[in-house]
Amino acid sequence: MSFKWIWTYIRPYGLIMLLGLVLVLITSGLAMVNPFMSGMIVDKVIEASQTHLLWSIIAVMVITTLVKSVGRYAYQLIFETVSQGVFKKIREDIYNKIQTLDFDFFNKNRTGDIMAKMTGDMEAVRHFIAWVIYMVFENATIFIFAVTMLFITNAPLALFMVAITPVTGFFAVRLAKEVKPTFFAIREQFSRLNTVVQENISGNRVVKAFAKEGYEIEKFERENEAYREKNVASAQVWSKFLPIIDALASSLMVAMILVGGILVINGSMSLGELVTFNGFLWALNNPMRMVGWLINDTQRFVASAEKVMGLLESEPKITPNEDAVQKDRIRGSVEFCHVGFSYGDEKVLEDISFTAEPGQTVAIIGPTGAGKSTLLNLICRFYDCTEGAIYIDGTDIRQMDLKLLRESIASAMQDVFLFSDTIEGNIAYGVPGATEEQIQWAAQMAGAHEFISTFEEGYDTIVGERGVGLSGGQKQRIALARALLKNPSILILDDTTSSVDSETEHRIHSSLKSYYRDKTTFIIAHRISSVKNADMILVLDEGRIIEQGTHDELLAQKGYYYSVFQNQFGDFDSFISKEVG
Amino acid sequence: MARNKYDVDEELDTPFNRQHMKRLLGYVQPYKKRMMMAVGLMLVSSIAGMATPYLLSVGIDVFIPQKNISGLVLLAFVLLVTLIITALCFRHRLVIMSDVGQSIIRDIRSDIFRKLQKLPFEYYDSRPHGKILVRVVNYVNSLSDLLSNGLVNMITDLFTLFVIIGYMLFLDPRLTLVSLAGLPPLVLAIFLVKGIQRKRTQAVSRKQSNLNAYIHESICGIKVTQAFAREEENFKIFRELSTEYRKTWMAYVRSIFIMWPIIENISVWAVSLVYVAGISLLGTGASVGILVAFVGYIWRFWTPIINLGNFYNALINSMAYLERIFETIDEVPKVDNLPSATEMPTIQGKVVFDNVTFSYDDGYPILKNMSFTIEKGQTVALVGPTGAGKTTVVNLLSRFYNVDSGKVLIDDVDISQVTLESLRKQMGIMLQDTFIFSGTIMDNIRYSRLDATDEEVIAAAKAVCAHEFISSLKDGYYTEVNERGTRLSVGQRQLISFARSLLADPRILILDEATSSIDTKTELALQQGLETLLKGRTSFVIAHRLSTIKNASVIFYIDRGRIIEAGTHEELMKKRGAYYNLYTAQYSFLEAV
Ligand SMILES: Nc1ncnc2c1ncn2[C@@H]1O[C@H](COP(=O)(O)OP(=O)(O)OP(=O)(O)O)[C@@H](O)[C@H]1O
Ligand SMILES: Nc1ncnc2c1ncn2[C@@H]1O[C@H](COP(=O)(O)OP(=O)(O)OP(=O)(O)O)[C@@H](O)[C@H]1O
Ligand SMILES: [Mg+2]
Ligand SMILES: [Mg+2]
């Protein structure tokens, strides 16, 4: 299976690969020349004193070596080129795959594990193409050449020696069988090790905050030691077989001297033939020795290839609709129609219905874990709703072109993620071609321009992993600017100003008023001040809409919204009276 | 601070030197005995191996002409014995060497990981995490072969080489000199390509690091990528990095593979020279037998040289990784225990900032001459515009960074004089960016105090009003949350990390925007429960929702790195200054109606 898979990648390089194999064939053939020439020098030049032949023999030796070494260099490069080509293609295929996989996949798979596949496993795959394939071929050709030569020299003895091959084959097969699971174990452990280290690095602040370095080291050492053990366990297996295979290869020598000797004594073989036999023995020996190593590397490849294939074969549940309704632009009317959603069997949203027209602002408020973010995730189709349907401009979003849908929506998510790139690059993330003016405009709208300008390198300041180097509120505003720059039809602001002080927040909201005009805007917030001016406020609790209306309507209802208002502003009246009085 | 990103090569700070080799050998040191044993085994098997041609020649020269079949059988038997000895030696060597090699790898990895635990925030802030990750895992792995088989083979190859030279000298010193004539050009060739090889392997490791950093970040930021439909643009960048990597790789193999043809050709020249010289010397003491034996040895002589060439390639290859690994191990933590550091005694809770100035980047002070005193048991609120430096203040208190000038004192002890662990163990810090580990909710809360009982964990969860939602989950406290807690809502993550900080039972509690994503009702309920917990403890609270800090013993209004107002809520409201404006700002929209 792994071989079929890798073949589909190698096939485009078929021709050049063939050329490589031809070169292997030629150089293997040339490898037979020098031992032959050495014999010539002894037989002809020294014994027969044909000194004039010396120079030509040497010339032949030097030239064949030159040709051989150049040939070898050439095919090594050919195989490297092919393997790098294949390697690059697989890597890019994985990358593309990763980009199409949905949230569900990333909730279930750890970064460290995916990284393990893209580094360690890919390396095993590369090694296989770059090295194992030509080594197999090189050794096979040498072996075949040698066998042919031997048969020509003396068929009965040759037959006797080749008879050992099946025994070697038997052990080779056993090795392949027994060593395979150990390589699977190694790569599983590799992935675990990767995950532990990855998580430790990304959580380094928490580790230090609680002075838990000791605990982390303990955790790491467990995996580290296990990784060592898995490797040693694997070595236990192959170290059982490799010496046997090796000894079998050497036993050819024993067979040769015993059987060959008897044949010579019998007179059915000449001494010279035996010496020639001896000369070609290495060409029989070496390939047999290599069998064990090559099997090892191949099984390592199989273990890794299966992981890589697994990744390439994972299918997102959310797929771009092939026969999507074609549209140029989304206006932005959003309708939820009895929408229900559950993560697995945990119900999160139930019977959500509402309609938002372009230009309207819908605010969502509600307790922690009520399902607010989930609701907005459904609009972007990060998940598909499990009941009911969502319509945008009257079309079920599952019938729409996924790319168009996402291009028409911009969201500033609740857990802000910035890339380690310049501030400019981060703001322009959704619009890679944006001009400097546009970027500055977006930053201004998001209330970020001011602080960015105070930085030494301004918009070219590089932020660290996930936005390290910026304060919490600064990160949020960059993420907001990133969303604004996209100029979408639907804007989603999920708790975007939670780390921003009220003054700044107020400024941002007033400057955004004109921006909202032609867009459908969704705002999730806990502060009444952020949601108050919305055209419609949805109060979400345990996945249901429990109140719906404008600020004033909801206040009049004296329900959840009213009590939140009281909590936040209950002292307003007393405050005012104190101020006045 | 110069930050690195995915498309910026990391230049190496430490130049390559022999020191690296020495250090590497230092890792081998503890396994010296077993290494020696492996070398011993190797020698036994190679001596046994060298006997083969001799035994063979006995057979051909003696038994066959004598038609001595029983002699041949005996010979075969002896050969079989050497063969078994070789196999046994081989087997043990494999076991020993994989064990030693893997142990060395483990030790190096352990050292680099331990160092990473010591490195302060600043280290992690200034480079993509993907680049750190590959150093610990992949780079270290790439050393494994070099350190196990590579090393043993090198030792035995060197040994073989000397044995062969010995034999050759014994046979004919003149011819030996002739055959060694190949060595100078070889050395010259190695010398010439070495520089190029080194540069190119370094380039490969740099590009690889960039590529991995980009992959890593792409995975971490996938949700943003999809939300912004940026897949195509990212792929373009990735392809560029990937192509660049391939280019440097090909350049690298071109320079590495060139060693083979060089050695092969030089060796054939050397052999030819020996033939020419040997034949012209034939009359003067060199016999045919000697010449034949000699040539046989020359071919053997080049095998270890070729092996050494391969070893050298592997070494060059690993060196690029080794340099990175040692660079990390050698990194001097900017924040570290002083040699004279003492244990921080049990903290009572008095905190003093004495004229503290601090900057993340030299020349850009974030905090300027900040001074304040907080008495034991007080609750201090830090408020102010975003980016003012509130988080920075609490970062300094835990000594995540060192102050530029001035002092931070806790109970009149300068915190730079005590060990980091003893200091941080007594603090409960809830960072502004919540981080949840993959694992169960129970383990996540317990992280701050590993010996806490289940009941204590649950009590902490109850105190932050998280118990209710946790118990509503199917597996309750044993629910597995994903990496970074993506299985939970953001507010829920905050509650869990809040509970974690409380469970630490800290002497000083620091809450940086602990409830920014939590609804008002939960927040209020939480606050009431908290009051009893905070009693007697010094605590720092940062919040933008001012209702949460109104009852603080003292409120600092921080603006651009300075405390511009300090006092209780009532005092500051009376003052009608910055705090008053901030406080009334939350009402301003009401008036705007
Ligand atoms: N690791 C860092 N490296 C460099 N600069 C930093 C780093 N962390 C913060 N800064 C800068 O220091 C200043 C103060 O940041 P700080 O995080 O202390 O603000 P804050 O008052 O906590 O703001 P917020 O309320 O938004 O969280 C900001 O201008 C920020 O850009
Ligand atoms: N990937 C997931 N798998 C399973 N359950 C999930 C997942 N993500 C969220 N949940 C659960 O779904 C519920 C709703 O989460 P959601 O993030 O929508 O809440 P929210 O209203 O946005 O809360 P907050 O105000 O804290 O952000 C929560 O109980 C949460 O635990
Ligand atoms: Mg949410
Ligand atoms: Mg902060």
Shared-domain flag, residues A335 and A273: no
Shared-domain flag, residues B316 and B363: no
Q: How far is the CA of A414 from the centre of ligand 3 (A)?
A: 6
Predicted pLDDT at B287: 62
* Partner residue opposite A500 with nearest CB, options B136, B386, B437: B386
Domain final residue pick, B470, B505, B540: B505
Q: How far is the CA of A150 from the centre of ligand 4 (A)?
A: 80
Q: Residue A71: pLDDT band by 50, 70, 90 thresholds?
A: very high
Shared-domain flag, residues B540 and B393: yes
Of B334, B360, B362, B400, which is best to mutate to test ligand 1, by the most ligand atoms within 8 angstroms of its C-beta? B360
pLDDT digits (tens, 9 = 90+) for A506-546: 888 888 888 888 889 999 988 888 888 889 999 999 899 99
Residue A497, φ and ψ in degrees, nearest 5 = -115, 20
What is the biggest distance separating any 2 CA atoms in chain A, rounded to whole angstroms?
A: 131
| pLDDT > 90? residue A441 | yes
Predicted pLDDT at A15: 92
Predicted pLDDT at B168: 78
Token pair belonging to B462: 């109850």
A368: closest CA of chain B, how far (Å)? 5
CB-based contact B454:B442 (threshold 8 Å)? yes
User: B429 touching A, CB under 8 A?
Assistant: yes
Token pair belonging to B454: 């289940």
| Residues 6 or more apart in contact with residue A114 via CB below 8 angstroms | A98, A311, B219
* Partner residue opposite A413 with nearest CB, options B227, B487, B546: B227
User: B52 touching A, CB under 8 A?
Assistant: yes
Flag whether B5 is in a domain. Answer: no
Range of the domain at A468: 409-487
Q: How far is the CA of A348 from the centre of ligand 3 (A)?
A: 12
Range of the domain at B230: 19-329
Burial of residue B63 (number of CB atoms within 10 Å: 0-12, 13-18, 19+): buried
Distance in angstroms (rounded) separating the CA atoms of residues A378 and A373: 9
Shared-domain flag, residues A252 and A380: no
Enumerate the β-bridge partners of residue B112.
Answer: none
A196: closest CA of chain B, how far (Å)? 10
Flag whether A14 is in a domain. Answer: yes
Ligand 1 atom 6: residue of nearest CA:
A469
CB-based contact B381:B374 (threshold 8 Å)? no
CATH number of the domain where residue B537 is located:
3.40.50.300
Shared-domain flag, residues B354 and B280: no
> For residue A364, which ligand has an atom nearest its CA?
2
Smallest CA-to-CA distance from B208 within A543, A81, A249, A119 is with A119
| Pairwise CB contact (< 8 Å): A228 & B56 | no
Token pair belonging to B414: 């300068």
Q: Residues 247 to 286 of B: which have CB under 8 A from any A CB?
A: 249-250, 253-254, 257-258, 260-261, 264-265, 268-269, 271-272, 275-276, 279, 282
| Chain A residue with minimum CA distance to B474 | A346
Flag whether B580 is in a domain. Answer: yes
pLDDT digits (tens, 9 = 90+) for A135-156: 888 888 888 888 888 888 888 8
Token pair belonging to B302: 């080049």
> For residue A372, which ligand has an atom nearest its CA?
2
Predicted pLDDT at B289: 64
Mean pLDDT of all residues in chain A? 87
Domain final residue pick, B477, B505, B533: B505
Shared-domain flag, residues A542 and A479: no
Predicted pLDDT at B508: 92
CB-based contact B327:B13 (threshold 8 Å)? yes
CB-based contact B582:B381 (threshold 8 Å)? no
Shared-domain flag, residues B566 and B466: no
CATH number of the domain where residue B113 is located:
1.20.1560.10
Shared-domain flag, residues B253 and B222: yes
Number of domains in chain B: 3
| pLDDT > 60? residue A214 | yes
Cβ-based contacts of A264 with chain B (< 8 Å):
64
Flag whether B339 is in a domain. Answer: no
CB-based contact B178:B277 (threshold 8 Å)? yes
> For residue A341, which ligand has an atom nearest its CA?
2
Flag whether A320 is in a domain. Answer: no
CB-based contact B589:B576 (threshold 8 Å)? no
Shared-domain flag, residues A358 and A420: no
Domain final residue pick, B459, B490, B505: B505
Cβ-based contacts of A199 with chain B (< 8 Å):
437-438, 483
* Partner residue opposite A406 with nearest CB, options B95, B134, B226: B226
| Chain A residue with minimum CA distance to B120 | A208
Predicted pLDDT at A232: 92
| Pairwise CB contact (< 8 Å): A500 & B223 | no
Token pair belonging to A575: 């405050």
Read off the pLDDT of each residue in A242-265 and give the average, rounded to a whole number. 86
Flag whether B335 is in a domain. Answer: no
Flag whether B342 is in a domain. Answer: no
Q: How far is the CA of A106 from the centre of ligand 2 (A)?
A: 15
| Pairwise CB contact (< 8 Å): B136 & A66 | no
| CA distance to A441, A485, B347, per residue, from A481 (Å) | 9, 6, 43
What is the reported pTM?
0.88
CATH number of the domain where residue A441 is located:
3.40.50.300
Read off the pLDDT of each residue in A381-407 and give the average, rounded to a whole number. 89
Flag whether A215 is in a domain. Answer: yes
Shared-domain flag, residues B174 and B223: yes
Rg (CA), chain B: 35
pLDDT by residue for chain B (593 residues), tens digit each?
567 777 777 766 555 567 777 888 888 889 989 888 888 888 887 777 767 767 777 777 778 778 888 888 888 898 888 888 888 988 998 888 888 889 999 999 999 999 999 898 888 888 888 888 888 888 888 887 777 667 777 877 887 788 778 877 877 788 788 878 888 888 888 888 878 888 888 888 888 888 988 998 888 888 888 888 888 889 999 999 999 999 999 999 998 888 888 888 888 888 888 888 877 776 655 566 666 667 667 767 777 877 787 787 778 778 878 888 888 888 888 888 888 889 999 999 899 999 999 998 888 889 999 999 999 989 999 998 888 999 999 999 989 999 999 999 999 999 999 998 899 989 888 888 889 988 899 999 999 888 999 999 999 999 888 999 999 888 899 998 888 888 899 999 999 999 999 998 888 999 998 888 888 888 888 888 788 788 888 999 998 888 788 888 999 999 988 999 999 999 998 988 899 888 887 776 665 44
CATH number of the domain where residue A307 is located:
1.20.1560.10
B42: closest CA of chain A, how far (Å)? 13
User: B581 touching A, CB under 8 A?
Assistant: yes
Shared-domain flag, residues B127 and B206: yes
* Interface pTM, i.e. ipTM: 0.88
Q: How far is the CA of B425 from the centre of ligand 4 (A)?
A: 22
Q: How far is the CA of A183 from the centre of ligand 2 (A)?
A: 39
Predicted pLDDT at B230: 86
Ligand 2 atom 14: residue of nearest CA:
A371
